[in-house]
Structure 1
């Protein structure tokens, strides 16, 4: 953003809508990162009982199913909170 024109008293600050969009984007990014870290650690702990240098086929499948369930559950909760009775 160019704030050079903001130093004069007659120019207006960035719009509230633009600031809200920026905040929403930053919150979404932070939420996504936290979600992935939480799901990753929970699914790893659930599915990998004997950590080694690589995942077995069953561990990989377990993690995939676990992450899918978390994503599905998050979508259901989001729709319930944000979508009302759709």
Structure 2
């Protein structure tokens, strides 16, 4: 899409970029949620136990922290 940036105005480009970022975030959120759920919930029931809920929360927190570390490392190498 960047090859055709000259065909659309800046406002449209910004809208497309926001849409892409939102889509990527939602896709990533589903992926992390699925992975953490599979890791933490071994016997699904009608509700989560306290330990399952804590495990999912820690799993997501670790993922967010790792993503931040990787992002900062990538950003610092591109300078």
TM category (shorter chain) comes to: 0.7 to 0.9
With normalisation by structure 2, the TM-score equals 0.80
Query: Which is greater in Rg?
Result: 1
Considering Cα pairs closer than 8 Å and 6+ residues apart, tell me whether 1 or 2 has the greater RCO.
2
- Gaps of at least 5 residues in structure 1 are 1-12
Q: Among 4, 21, 29, which residue is 2:14 paired with?
A: 21
Q: CA deviation at 1:21?
A: 1.0
Q: CA deviation at 1:19?
A: 2.3
Q: Partner residue of 2:66?
A: 73
> What is the root-mean-square deviation in Å for CA atoms of aligned residues?
1.8
Q: Among 19, 40, 44, which residue is 2:33 paired with?
A: 40
Q: CA deviation at 1:26?
A: 0.8
The alignment of Structure 1 onto Structure 2 pairs a total of residues equal to 72
Name the one with the larger helix percent: 2
Distance 2:27 2:66 in 1: 16
- Gaps of at least 5 residues in structure 2 are 1-6
With normalisation by structure 1, the TM-score equals 0.74
